[in-house]
Structures are given as structure tokens and as C-alpha cells.
């Protein structure tokens, strides 16, 4: 296995995979099955092959959380929540692995168990980070007043500060439009506008009656998209296919932003975009980079 990991550390993926496959042929041990499963999931992006190997490894009842964590991750990616949930809990009984807590939070989100999800994210969230944003959103859905308390502490000086617009998104979900407006204005002029933020900020301004400011951010966004469109049309390094695809996308954005005021007047409510992503991790036995022991 050491040789296979040396190949992997040298970015020689084919050699690493071949060596791990040879090891499994020689001995279908927990370590060999598990590390090969990890390779299929993370390097080959072959969930089905990884699943078969991971299930076989777990059937050998390993006394280490990694095989259970990997198998749970694969089940999560396949949205098989009933199989993933007991595995995630069994891992956490052995070790409070942050990635596993995150994935358990995502599982509870998918089941709309908002309070349980928030508790998982709370355990791993750093102040004003994206994970804390996930926690706050879950608290909002659960009707918990702690959501507002956490948002009032949002601080750009934190190492993992995700942004004021993300905080604004959460204030909107609570119907706190004045707070949302304040957050948007903190960084609006330092970011590149696009349809999503201009729709969300525009919605806030429309709700508060700031229609002149709404027209202002609409025109600003249209100028930025038009400038990008001109750059794409004159860029020589794009292939014709890439250029055509990007031009089409930008023209669609222009159309979307141009129609915003009328859409808002007709009752349009732009929905929040929030990504409850599944967290992977290095679960390789013997990984030098992460100081993992061999099984």
C-alpha cells in the first residue's frame, strides 16, 4: 500500500490505482478494499465501483471510522438517506469528524429536520463562515430566534468571513429588509453584479419603496454585463464554441436583468440560492499528508 500511496502523492494516478487493484486481488482486507474504494470515488468519480468495494470493506466490521465515513458519503451522493444515516451516527460515536458532522447536517436538511441539521452545523461552524450561514438558514426554517442573534454578530474581521451579501440573503429569509439593505450596501460596489444578487437586492429595495435605487443597481448591472459581452466578442483566445456559448449566456443575463422591475411589480420573489453540499475528505489509510495511520 505504501508504494500505491507514493504513486498517488506523485500524481501518478494510473500507477496508484493499478497497485491498489493488485493489492485487492492479493488480499481483500479492510485497508485494501477501503483505499481502492476511496480511489474510485474521489479520483475515478465512479460511485458504483466505489460503493461495491466500500460495502465489502464495512462488512468486515472495521474498528476505525474511515470505512463507515466513506460508505456514508457514497450513500449521501446517491441520496440513499436510510442507509447513510446509521453509518454517519456510528462514525460520530468513534470520532467527531467535521466532514461527517457536515454530511449528517445535510442529511437532516434533506429530511427537513431543521433543528437537528442546525445542531450539526453549529458544532463545526466558524464565526461568519459559509457553514454558519447553513446553520442560520436551518434555524430560520426551524423558527428559532437564535438565527437573528447569530446574524447580528456577523463580522468581516473573522478569518472565514463569507460575505455581507450572504448575510443579506439570510435577513431576507427572515423578512428583515432594512437589515438586508444595509448588508448589500456594505459590499455592493466592490463586487461584480449578476442576475442573482441584483434580483435579491432589487427585491429588497422594491419591498422598502426605494425604486430609484432599484433602477440604479439595475443599470449598473446591465453596464457590467454589456462590458463583459464586449470583452468576449473581442477576445481572441476563445474557441468559437466557447465564445458562442458565453455570448448566449450573457445575452440571457441581460434579458433577465432588463425585465426585473416589471417582474417585481407582478409579484416575483427571487428564491435564495444556498448549497447544502456533501463534504468529502481524505479517508486514506496511510496518507502521509494527513498523518493517517495504516489500518
pLDDT in tens, 249-289: 999 999 999 999 999 999 999 999 999 999 999 999 999 98
For residue 200, give the nearest of 167, 170, 169 by alpha carbon. Answer: 169
Specify if 133 maps to a domain: no
User: So what's the pLDDT on residue 90?
Assistant: 96
Specify if 165 maps to a domain: no
| pLDDT beyond 80 at 77 | yes
Mean pLDDT of 30-39: 96
Mean pLDDT of 222-231: 90
pLDDT classification of 125: cutoffs 50, 70, 90? very high
pLDDT in tens, 4-34: 999 998 999 999 999 999 999 999 999 999 9
User: So what's the pLDDT on residue 196?
Assistant: 95
Q: Which domain holds residue 44?
A: 1-95
User: Looking at 29, 61, 95, which one is the last position of a domain?
Assistant: 95
Mean pLDDT of 148-174: 97
pLDDT classification of 232: cutoffs 50, 70, 90? confident
Report the domain count for the chain: 2
Mean pLDDT of 227-253: 86
Query: Residue 6: what are its φ and ψ, rounded to 5°?
Result: -65, -40
Specify if 115 maps to a domain: no
CATH number of the domain where residue 87 is located:
1.25.40.10
User: Looking at 79, 95, 111, which one is the last position of a domain?
Assistant: 95
Specify if 116 maps to a domain: no
Specify if 268 maps to a domain: yes
Specify if 111 maps to a domain: no
Q: How many CB atoms lie within 10 A of CB 153?
A: 11
Specify if 198 maps to a domain: yes
Specify if 284 maps to a domain: no
Amino acid at each position: 500500500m505504501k508504494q500505491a500511496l507514493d504513486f498517488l502523492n506523485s500524481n501518478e494516478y494510473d500507477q496508484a490505482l493499478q497497485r491498489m487493484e493488485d493489492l485487492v486481488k492479493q488480499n481483500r482486507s479492510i485497508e485494501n478494499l477501503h483505499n481502492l474504494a476511496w480511489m474510485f470515488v474521489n479520483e475515478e468519480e465512479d460511485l458504483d465501483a466505489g460503493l461495491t468495494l466500500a460495502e465489502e470493506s464495512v462488512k468486515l466490521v472495521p474498528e476505525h471510522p474511515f470505512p463507515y465515513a466513506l460508505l456514508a458519503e457514497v450513500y449521501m451522493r446517491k441520496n440513499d438517506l436510510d442507509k447513510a444515516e446509521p453509518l454517519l451516527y456510528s462514525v460520530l460515536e468513534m470520532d467527531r469528524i467535521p466532514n461527517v458532522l457536515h454530511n449528517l447536517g445535510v442529511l437532516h436538511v434533506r429530511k427537513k429536520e431543521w433543528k437537528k441539521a442546525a445542531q450539526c452545523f453549529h458544532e463545526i461552524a466558524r464565526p461568519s463562515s459559509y457553514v454558519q450561514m447553513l446553520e442560520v438558514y436551518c434555524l430560520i426554517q426551524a423558527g428559532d430566534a437564535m438565527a437573528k442573534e447569530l446574524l447580528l454578530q456577523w463580522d468581516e474581521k473573522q478569518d472565514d468571513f463569507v460575505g455581507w451579501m450572504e448575510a443579506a440573503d439570510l435577513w431576507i429569509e427572515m423578512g428583515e429588509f432594512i437589515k438586508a439593505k444595509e448588508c448589500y450596501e456594505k459590499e455592493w460596489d466592490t463586487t461584480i453584479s449578476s442576475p442573482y444578487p441584483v434580483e435579491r437586492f432589487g427585491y429588497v429595495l422594491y419591498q422598502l419603496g426605494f425604486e430609484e435605487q432599484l433602477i440604479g443597481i439595475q443599470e449598473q448591472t446591465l453596464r457590467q454585463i454589456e462590458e463583459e459581452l464586449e470583452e468576449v466578442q473581442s477576445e481572441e483566445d476563445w474557441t468559437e464554441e466557447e465564445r458562442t456559448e458565453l455570448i448566449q449566456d450573457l445575452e440571457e443575463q441581460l434579458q433577465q436583468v432588463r425585465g426585473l422591475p416589471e417582474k417585481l411589480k407582478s409579484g416575483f420573489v427571487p428564491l435564495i440560492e444556498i448549497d447544502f453540499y456533501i463534504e468529502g475528505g481524505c479517508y486514506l489509510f496511510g496518507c502521509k499528508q494527513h498523518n493517517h495511520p495504516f489500518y
